[in-house]
Amino acid sequence: MNKAVFLDRDGVINRELGDYVKNPASFLLNDGVGETLRKWAEDGYLLIVITNQGGIAKGLYSEKTLHAIHEKMLQLLAQDDVTLTAIYHCPHHPSTGECLCRKPDSLLLEKALARFHIDPAKSFFIGDKERDILAGLKAGVKGIRIEPNAPLSDINLYNA
């Protein structure tokens, strides 16, 4: 079975702005994220983003805009020879209804675990909010909580 690093997006991969990233121009990678992700990929980890994007439900941006933001993220990561295995997003927000895919629920992680034949016991979920850690735990994946915009290079997966 495979092993994976699941990553929240805002505050982990890109700069947490205190508001929604509503367009590609406001998407900024955190310092050193590419180098760290490349190292983890070289060590055999699949790299999978699991992100809540409630701004879609709130009408702040569209699925098309989110796709453009993610295209920019992929292009920036490619400059460091990083390829993400997959990106999963929840477009819902609690103010507009309930769903099973929004973290802290674990549906998106469970889909990725099944699709890519991932062993949860050999995998990690890195997030900057408690809901990220809870989603990982529900799926049997160890959570690592960081401060928003903290360097991923500070994380040692082998001692986690």
CATH number at residue 76: 3.40.50.1000
> What confidence score (pLDDT) does residue 50 get?
98
> What confidence score (pLDDT) does residue 96 get?
84
> What confidence score (pLDDT) does residue 89 get?
98
**pTM for this model (two decimals):** 0.96
Question: Which residues span the domain enclosing 84?
Answer: 10-122
**Is 110 part of any domain?**
yes
Structural domain total, the chain: 1
Q: What number of other Cβ atoms are within 10 A of residue 4's Cβ?
A: 26
**Is 155 part of any domain?**
no
**Is 132 part of any domain?**
no
**Is 143 part of any domain?**
no
The catalytic residues are 8, 10
> What confidence score (pLDDT) does residue 94 get?
85
Sheet holding 45-52, edge to edge: 86-90, 45-52, 3-7, 124-127, 142-145
**Is 127 part of any domain?**
no
Mean pLDDT score of the chain, rounded to an integer?
96
**Is 142 part of any domain?**
no
Reference 89, options 3, 45, 73, 81; nearest CA is: 73
Please, is 37 exposed, middle or buried when counting C-beta atoms within 10 Å of its C-beta (0-12, 13-18, 19+)?
buried
Which pLDDT tens digit goes with each residue over 97-148?
A: 789 899 999 999 999 999 999 999 999 999 999 999 999 999 999 999 999 9
